[in-house]
Amino acid sequence: MVQVLTQFDTIAAISTPIGEGGISIVRLSGEEAIKIANKVFKGADLTKVPTHTIHYGHIIDPKTNKVIDESMVSVMRGPKTFTREDIVEINCHGGIVVTNDILQLLLANGARMADPGEYTKRAFMNGRIDLTQAESVMDIVRAKTDKSREVAMNQLAGGLMEKIKAMRQELLDTMAQEEVNIDYPEYDMDDMTGKEMKDKALSVSAKIDQLLKTAQEGKIMRNGLATAIVGRPNVGKSSLLNYLTQDDKAIVTDVAGTTRDTLEEYVSVKGVPLKLIDTAGIHHTEDKVEKIGVERSKKAVESADLVLLLLDSSRQLSTEDQNLLRFTENKKRIIILNKSDLGTKVSQSMITKLTDSPIVVTSILQKENLDQLEKAIEKLFFSGIENSANQVMVTNQRQAGLLQKAKRSLAEVINGVDSAMPLDLVQIDLKDAWDTLGEITGESAPDELITELFSQFCLGK
């Protein structure tokens, strides 16, 4: 049972980005939220207005009666709010000075500054959401494509939470049966209970496997697919980056070595974010600056999820091209034979003899056949993601790590039953799995984990 913690002091923070804009929002949450807001608002008695209503008026300094700003103030009484506490949102003109003045006024009249993620933390502590939903809030904020936002919204709706809770309930029912066996040994049901324990461990373990299969896809949706654009100098890497981003992010010239460092940009392919890294041309050089760029390019390749290797099809394969083919052979990659408009000296059949990596023949300059590149990326990585907006996914390493830990405990249960261990000892591993699954949703998570998780949120969320 989650304890309701509405006795917390009242917090305040700016909930919109700092800067100039149409409006800014300063948010209060806590038992004194309405009372504090009423001290600085002139236009209506906020303590008497109906819940979930908005009111026009002015923010004033109660000590001087000086008008700070014209505003619209929303009043929302708990528990039907995000934090399950009373919430007041002050909609003011969007400006750094006026927004900060209103915040300081609220702090001077009884509120305290909210910690990063404290609104979402209160929603969790008051039983409004679980940890998977809390993490999805930040996923929504950080979403880079419509599809990653849709996946995060599915998590916020409780998709993963429901699956985890169902597995925990299965384990709990089995543990309860074993407790009956311990309390009433005269019924001698060890064989039946042992079989039930093993069957349940196998069943839940299989369900964990299904969730873990989504972890790689979830990671890509959350963080993007790290994609290194690689090739020797002047092969068309920067042109490809500019085409994919639809912008002149990289300098394009016919001078070799123009790009001397890695450039990064996010793009969307079939709704999935690609973190594109345009690397400096990998080649032998005596130039000190170019050497640094080449080393950074090699590191980018090593850490990439996908390599787009460009070769100049209008020229014979050079030693550098062959070195790059060997250097990237253990990576997931797509080979792009560029400059097809200038004639063909390196054909698709020639490369097919060297590798089974997908090959796209194109002229980036003429924008020929580039739709095949998107199809190749989709086939290589996203065959299971295309229609996954409503699929329950494991979206971060914390969730995946705990699922793997729970699976190891269930494996111990299976081994224990097969080895005819006393069932009260097997029960320990079953409870470990139950507790570990509870850490995913926050039902059995340690306080320090919860504090660390919410500290990663932005201020005002």
Q: What is the CATH number of the domain that holds 434?
A: 1.20.120.430
Is 235 assigned to a binding site? yes
Is 357 assigned to a binding site? no
**Dihedral sign computed on CA atoms, order 215, 220, 226, 231:** positive
CATH classification at residue 354: 3.40.50.300
Is 236 assigned to a binding site? yes
Query: What pLDDT is recorded for position 454?
Result: 75
Is 245 assigned to a binding site? no
Is 70 assigned to a binding site? no
What residue type is assigned to position 441 of the chain?
Answer: T
Q: Are residues 152 and 118 in the same domain?
A: no
Using the 3D structure, point to which of 95, 128, 161 is the last residue of a domain: 128
Q: Are residues 262 and 343 in the same domain?
A: yes
Is 136 assigned to a binding site? no
Is 281 assigned to a binding site? yes
- The residue range of the domain holding 327 is 221-381
Is 43 assigned to a binding site? no
> Model pTM?
0.68
Domain membership flag for residue 207: yes
Over range 358-385, report the average pLDDT: 80
Is 112 assigned to a binding site? no
Is 145 assigned to a binding site? no
Q: Are residues 235 and 369 in the same domain?
A: yes
Q: Are residues 301 and 399 in the same domain?
A: no
Is 232 assigned to a binding site? no
Over range 250-269, report the average pLDDT: 49
* pLDDT tens string 387-400: 555 567 887 888 89
* pLDDT tens string 4-27: 444 479 999 999 988 888 899 999
Q: How many domains does the chain have?
A: 3
Query: What pLDDT is recorded for position 433?
Result: 94
Is 165 assigned to a binding site? no
